[in-house]
Amino acid sequence: MANLKTKFEAAVANSKSLTERPDNATLLKIYALYKQATSGDNTEKKPGMLDMVGRAKWDAWNGCKGTKTDDAMKQYVALIESLS
């Protein structure tokens, strides 16, 4: 677990210095996996229809519901590594 947490933290740092900005769908996946790995299942209230960005983020995170923390960390690390 400690090794996975270290890899995850390194991937978070690397995500801030990607050479190319990922497309919006990929950015939402990165956000969703990060939130799932750090906060667990989404329990926040769904944003209103006028908050399109907030709603997209909420939907992406909610799509990860049920994913275990370790699995979310592994997927996050793999995704960031594929973009580096």
N-term to C-term CA, the chain: 23
User: How far is 83 from 12, CA to CA, in rounded Å?
Assistant: 12
Q: What is the pLDDT of residue 1?
A: 57
Q: What is the pLDDT of residue 40?
A: 92
Tell me the domain boundaries of the chain: 2-83
Does residue 13 have a pLDDT over 60?
yes
Q: Which CATH class is domain 2-83?
A: mainly alpha
pLDDT range class, residue 66, cuts 50, 70, 90: very high
